[in-house]
Amino acid sequence: MTKRSEIYKCNICGNLAEIVGEGAGTLVCCGEDMELLTEKTADSSTEKHVPVIEKINGGYRVYVGSTLHPMEEKHWIQWIELTADGISHKKYLNPGDKPETVFMVGNATTVSAREFCNLHGLWKG
């Protein structure tokens, strides 16, 4: 049984899938079950992955992380997502970009952010 917003990864080809509608089946890619990624929230290494949300005029700035994450060809943040009052907003990034983005979504009562590092997985802040 899948749940909305879950992220699944194929550990063979690297495909990532997000659940936008729930179902009873299992996600399969390259002939194997895809891995359900857990949202990590604490990072004890020097490299920081937990996304930081900063309120700005008219929206939110989200950056990864408290020490900026590398954005190299082999190691980078693929996307940053902000959920503001239940509405999700996603920005896809490329190597060479800054590991941050701005979401001009006004003011929200509840906000959370997720990001995906190609080597270190899914993080939530």
Stretch that binds Fe ion, among 9-17, 30-38, 88-96, 109-117 (CB under 5 A): 109-117
Find the shortest distance in angstroms from Cβ 48 to Fe ion: 9
Q: Is 40 among the residues that bind Fe ion (CB under 5 A)?
A: no
Find the shortest distance in angstroms from Cβ 40 to Fe ion: 11
* Cα(43)–Cα(41) distance, integer angstroms: 7
Identify which of 100, 103, 111, 112 has the alpha carbon closest to the alpha carbon of residue 68: 100
Find the shortest distance in angstroms from Cβ 76 to Fe ion: 8
Q: Is 120 among the residues that bind Fe ion (CB under 5 A)?
A: yes
Among 48, 117, 122, 123, the residue binding Fe ion under the rule CB under 5 A is: 117
DSSP class per residue in 52-108? EEEEETTEEEEESTTTTPP-BTTB-EEEEEEEETTEEEEEE--TTS-SEEEE-----
Q: Is 122 among the residues that bind Fe ion (CB under 5 A)?
A: no
Find residue 122's DSSP bridge partners.
Answer: 116
Positions in the binding site for Fe ion (CB under 5 A)? 117, 119-120
